[in-house]
Amino acid sequence: MSDPSAGIPTMQLPTMEQLEVDYARELTEYKRFRAAWFTSGVLAALFIFVIAFMPVPYVKLSPGPMFNTVGTSSGIELIKITGAKTYPTNGELNLTTVNERGGPYGEITLPEAFIGWISESDVVLPTTDLFPPGTTKQDAQEENQVEFNSSQSAAISAALTYLKIPVTSQVQVGQVAPDGPANGKIKVGDIITAFNGATVTMPDQLPPLVKAQKPGASATIDILRGKTPASIKVTLGASPRDASQGYVGILGSALYSGPFPIEFGLQDVGGPSAGTMFALGIIDKLTPENLSDDKVVAGTGTISPTGEVGAIGGIQQKMYAASNGGAQLFLAPRANCNSVRTSTPQGLNVAAVTTLSEAVDVLAKWRSGSSDLPRC
């Protein structure tokens, strides 16, 4: 009789020794997997960390704050006029600003740039599009301050000319070349009154007087430093453009004034784009008419001494600054109309102007309730 269990495989249970070997092998594999997973996680975290803080060669422009030119900032009047009759002002005539991050102002990270790229109010540009290579933070700030001071001076001239009030001009030193003959003798802020006895009242009068002299010649520059007059002796160098002509190494800008003092109290803002709104603010203070009609007006634009409104940078960000600040009317330079047409925030009422006189007229129409304003 055959064995019924014949041909049926039998299962042999592992020995304790085999179980221990298998357990040790599986534990080793688990440890290797866990170590590999941990290493991958650390590397991924490091990668994300590096990406998050990786500086990129871009500048991000975003909407900045508004400043009411007929109001105060930190308790200081933005426009202070003494020695002339002024009138109460209501409402707001705001200049608009742009916040800059990156470039000489400190690097931005890749995530910051990405957020700027997808934002409708921001723009991200290569640093070299805005600043020459090697530009330092101090260089950028000094240039912005020179432009800002120049815009304030031009605003005085434009506003007083509009009001038919006499204007006088002087030449103020805006820059001194570090390697120029005047370095250490002439200072930024000095007023140049004469060169070798010839009276100087406008910046374009100085270069021909200097170029008419030979390199190595001694020149006398009469200045006002504060309220103190002085005569400065300078040995002229050779012009970088023409070695046969004299060179003093200073850059002057026009400083305009009227028969009474006009002072500006805004700090830590740079560039030339506030000129138009400063000019409107001066007019508003010197005339009984309330230009803004107790409402919120904002705007931007350079201003020439004779009242021409010029193009500015960052128009998109300034319109969003106005929109964010509740502006009911925004004055834009007509020269910026291409950008205005493509980037105006929804609901912002924008009028385009070419001169200070036109800006005043636009405000008068707007106060009367007219919608027939010049548009882009």
pLDDT tens track of the chain, all 376 residues? Answer: 445 545 555 556 666 666 566 656 665 666 666 655 656 655 555 555 555 567 888 999 999 999 999 999 989 999 999 999 999 998 999 999 999 998 888 888 888 888 888 999 999 999 899 888 888 888 888 888 888 888 999 999 999 999 999 999 999 998 899 999 999 999 999 999 999 999 999 999 999 999 999 999 999 999 999 999 999 999 999 999 999 999 999 999 999 999 999 999 997 788 899 999 999 999 999 999 999 999 999 999 999 999 999 999 999 999 999 999 999 999 999 999 999 999 999 999 999 999 999 999 999 999 999 989 999 9
Q: What was the pLDDT predicted at 238?
A: 94
Q: What angle do CA 184, 187, 192 make, to 5 degrees?
A: 120
Q: What was the pLDDT predicted at 267?
A: 79
In whole angstroms, how far apart are CA 234 and each of 30, 147, 210, 231, 363? 83, 27, 11, 10, 51
Amino acid at 344: T
Q: What tokens appear for 284 in the block?
A: 């508003």
d(CA 257, CA 86): 17
Q: Does residue 350 contact residue 318 with C-beta atoms inside 8 Å? A: no
Q: Does residue 236 contact residue 195 with C-beta atoms inside 8 Å? A: no
CB atoms near residue 327 (< 10 Å): 24
Closest CA to 171 of 142, 198, 200: 200
Q: What was the pLDDT predicted at 1?
A: 47
Which SS3 state, helix, strand or coil, does residue 201 take? coil
Q: What tokens appear for 240 in the block?
A: 């970088």
d(CA 58, CA 351): 32
d(CA 321, CA 95): 10
User: Which of the 8 DSSP states describes residue 10?
Assistant: -
CB atoms near residue 317 (< 10 Å): 24
